[in-house]
Amino acid sequence: MSVDPRMVTLFSYYRDAELRGAGLLMRLLNHIPDPDSQVKLSLHLADETRHAWLWTKRITDIGGEPQQVGDGYQSRIGLRTVPRNLIDLLALTVVVEERAHQRYLDHAARPNVDKDTLDVLHEVTKDEKWHISWIKGKLDELAAEEGGEARVAAAMQKYREIDEQVYGSLLEKEREAFDGALAHAPATS
Ligand SMILES: [Fe+2]
Ligand SMILES: [Fe+2]
């Protein structure tokens, strides 16, 4: 089987996003000590590391090896801002989760996606809904505190703006790699 290096690279970016998402959750473990959050974080973390494994397996199944990614989604965000408090960490987690969810849905909706890749896309997408909703619930609790609403809104806005710019630059990179198109989409140029 001949390896498509572009797909190995793309899946390595997906894998990197899952691993760094897990790193963010490891940081959250130290910030929300209540038992309910600790239970949810543990399962959430287990999901993200499993997602990273599923992309790793997809890479090796197509004959590739996982690549080290130095300029992936979270690294690019990290160049712009570093979360320093609980509201920032939670807001960034929501934005990162929503991006991952949308990114996988968009990829799955393209034509010509092979069945094995589609299976992984569906599998990793299905956990994201509860990830987003429980972290949002935590943010709502903080928003209910004195002065919390404005701080949560400001953090969400900050991370959404950074996400838009960072994701735009990643899509550009993907288009460069796939001759003006995105993976599994027909070339437009
Ligand atoms: Fe994930
Ligand atoms: Fe997730």
Tens-digit pLDDT profile for residues 158-175? 999 999 999 999 999 999
CA distance 107 to 102: 9
CA of 33 to the centre of ligand 1 (A): 22
- DSSP classification of residue 94: H
Distance 111 CA to ligand 2 centre (A): 25
SS (H, E, C) 100-118: HHHHHHHHHHCCCCCHHHH
Q: What is the pLDDT of residue 179?
A: 87
Q: Please report how the helices 86-109 and 73-80 are oriented relative to each other, as an axis angle in degrees rounded to 10.
A: 140
pTM of the model: 0.94
Q: Please enumerate in sequence order all residues whose Cβ is within 8 A of that of 98, keeping only pairs 6 or more positions apart, or say none.
A: 132
Spans of the chain below 50 pLDDT: 189
Q: What is the pLDDT of residue 187?
A: 63
pLDDT digits (tens, 9 = 90+) for 103-132: 999 999 999 899 999 999 999 999 999 999
CA distance 99 to 114: 22
Taking the centre of ligand 1 as the mean of its atom positions, its distance from the CA of residue 18, in whole angstroms, is: 5
- Whole-number Å distance, alpha carbon 188 to ligand 2 midpoint, is 31
> Which pLDDT does position 132 carry in this prediction?
96
Q: What is the whole-number distance in angstroms between the Cα of residue 59 and the centre of ligand 1? A: 16
Q: Which ligand is nearest to the CA of 97?
A: 2
Measured in angstroms, how far is the CA atom of residue 12 from the centroid of ligand 1?
Answer: 13
Report CA(150)–ligand 2 centroid distance (Å): 25
Largest CA distance in the chain: 60
DSSP 128-171: HHHHHHHHHHHHHHHHTSTTHHHHHHHHHHHHHHHHHHHHHHHH
Q: Taking each helix axis as running N to C, give the angle between helix 35-61 and helix 5-29, from 0 to 180 degrees, rounded to the nearest 10.
A: 170
